[in-house]
Structure 1
Amino acid sequence: MPSTAVTTISAGLGLLPDVLKRSAMTRPLRRPRGKAAPRGLSLLYDVTEAPVADGLVVTASPRSREASAGPGAGRHLFYLHGGAYTLEDQHWPFLGLFIARGWTVHLVDYPLAPEHTVDQTVPMVMAAWQHVVDLAQGAPVDLAGDSAGGALSLVALQEIRDGGLTRPSRTVLLSPWVDAVMSDRATVAAAPADVLLSLRGLHGCIELYRGDRHPSDPWLSPINGGLHDLGTIQSWVGTAEMFQPQCERLADLAAAAPGTDHELRLGHDLPHDWALFPVPERDLLVEEMVSFLTASPLAGR
């Protein structure tokens, strides 16, 4: 059973009309030009910003002695935020939980639609990956992303594989949007029960983001991009979100892909991107992620 906090948040989100969700996704607000990191972040962490291609990489490192001795000490987390490729979602409250455990977090502020398309976003993400690998100087770099950022994480894995680049230590995909077509019966059937996402809104976002590419293109639907030789991946999806069917298809395909060790974890009765909500389920997820990311390569595999 979900916690009372999740039930309350889901009930509130369920009251939002679909037209409002669509408008928020396809007519996104933009923050004033300037620094990408929010005010106050530098009061908590050591923060730097580096321009990379058409975007920025915001790096936040722990200051406290306790964090520096945590399970993520010496590790780097390359993070791709969600937001349907249109929203400026940075997720610092969530990412701060990893900084507190010792990780140096690199948030990729990548180009967004409608100002940009996938043809600018993916190359920037790959340039950012190489930037962070160079900064890490051989230390482990973990890869993670949520929703659209989860899809971009899978695209990045495929580009890393195809380009012979340095691979991440491990990868976590949170509620990943791996199929931008979304015409299968299971997704269409699940969509009305999703309290956070709008199926029509998502289709609208893809129209803004895809440029001249078809939604089935692997840069938009990485489930079609070849799942072999991607390393060790853990995916999470809620059973109350419309992305569950595509994540289950991803798990089935990955199970037959050589060189890829993929595990799908289900959040029973949990909504899309519950990892970003201040709820007990988020804290449990973080602990599971920490255990997965820091496990010995042979532990439990």
Structure 2
Amino acid sequence: MSPSLQSRLLAGAMTLMRAREQFNPKKFTKEPSTAAQYSPPPSVEKRVTITRSTFRDWPVFTLAPETPSGKQALYLHGGAWAAEIQAGHWNLIADLVVRTSRTFVVPIFPLVPAVTHRDITPVLTDLWGAIAGEVPTALVGDSAGATMALNLLVALPEGAPAPDVTVLLSPTFDLTFANPESARIAPRDPLLKLDYIRALAASYAGPDGPDSELVSPVHARVDHLGAITVFTGTRDLLNPDAHRYADLARDAPGTQVTIEETADMVHDWMLMPIPEAKTTRAHIARLLR
């Protein structure tokens, strides 16, 4: 099926507006974000019940539906490890809350260059231990947040509760971005620039390096991770590594990786105001229900 007119126009607009520059490493400093930069917009507050708490000094938002199902999800937002959560993330999360009747827990974690993964994964592991176990809990993330979710899944200690569903939206599987297929797609990707995301990924990896098993899932263990569904678009330079990861996990015991690929979609298209996003969100909701 051909991409919609809306998606083609949006991709063209991103190119004209130089959307890749939003992840220019020079834009990001060690200055902390303010509450106004990461709080849910008023439109989201009208759809779900929102409570705010803290965990290890991180702000944590809990978005609950009118009639909770008794299930929940931990959602980790994207932004190349450097950008704060955006309105598009909040709208997606609220939509999934309403569609699935799950309660979503959304931590606001610190960002590069102020931190590395060593500051993030241990806290996420503790947060998971604090919220999961008593009720079925899904693990969901987009972009860099999807990669962090997979890092968390690999890092869970033996005996820790496992997600009942893991959904990864446009994740990065190799923080070195060395796959030549990614370089081939890069000129058609209107949102991601290899040099920029490679630099931000290296900052997130810190002294362990971007090829460390602690940050790059293609170098980490792939066994006993449960059922993982990966959504990826073919205009996303990260797309080839999604297939590479699925190949690595194909014969791994206790792991089932399903690739849901949409032709001609860009990175994180499910956050965008296009028909394909509506279709993908409905699919994600079915998985979470």
TM-score normalised to the size of structure 2? Answer: 0.91
After superposition, the CA RMSD in angstroms is 2.0
Equivalences for residues 4-43 of structure 1 within 5 A: 4-17=5-18, 20-23=21-24, 25-28=25-28, 31-33=33-35, 36-40=38-42, 41-43=44-46
After TM superposition, give the deviation of residue 221 of structure 1 in Å: 0.6
CA distance in 1, matches of 2:268, 2:196: 16
Residue aligning to 1:103: 102
Q: Secondary structure at the match of 2:208?
A: coil
After TM superposition, give the deviation of residue 170 of structure 1 in Å: 0.9
Equivalences for residues 1-301 of structure 1 within 5 A: 1-17=2-18, 20-23=21-24, 25-28=25-28, 31-33=33-35, 36-40=38-42, 41-63=44-66, 68=67, 73-90=69-86, 91-101=89-99, 102-133=101-132, 138-160=134-156, 162-294=157-289
After TM superposition, give the deviation of residue 176 of structure 1 in Å: 0.5
CA distance in 1, matches of 2:9, 2:129: 41
State the aligned residue count. 282
Q: Secondary structure at the match of 1:126?
A: helix
| Equivalent pair of 2:73/2:103 in contact (CA under 8 Å) | yes
Q: 1:80 to 1:253 in 2, by over 3 A?
A: same
Query: Unpaired segments of 5 or more residues in structure 1?
Result: 295-301
After TM superposition, give the deviation of residue 16 of structure 1 in Å: 3.6
Q: 1:76 to 1:12 in 2, by over 3 A?
A: same
Superimposed CA distance per residue, residues 208-244 of structure 1 (whole angstroms, 9 cap, x where no aligned partner): 2222111011222122111100011111110111011
- Once the two structures are aligned, what percentage of the paired residues are identical? 29
Q: 1:93 to 1:22 in 2, by over 3 A?
A: closer
After TM superposition, give the deviation of residue 57 of structure 1 in Å: 2.0
Q: 1:287 to 1:42 in 2, by over 3 A?
A: closer
CA distance in 2, matches of 1:119, 1:283: 36
Q: 1:284 to 1:18 in 2, by over 3 A?
A: closer
CA distance in 2, matches of 1:75, 1:257: 28
Runs of 4+ deviating beyond 4 Å:
33-36
Q: 1:87 to 1:207 in 2, by over 3 A?
A: same
Q: Secondary structure at the match of 2:206?
A: coil
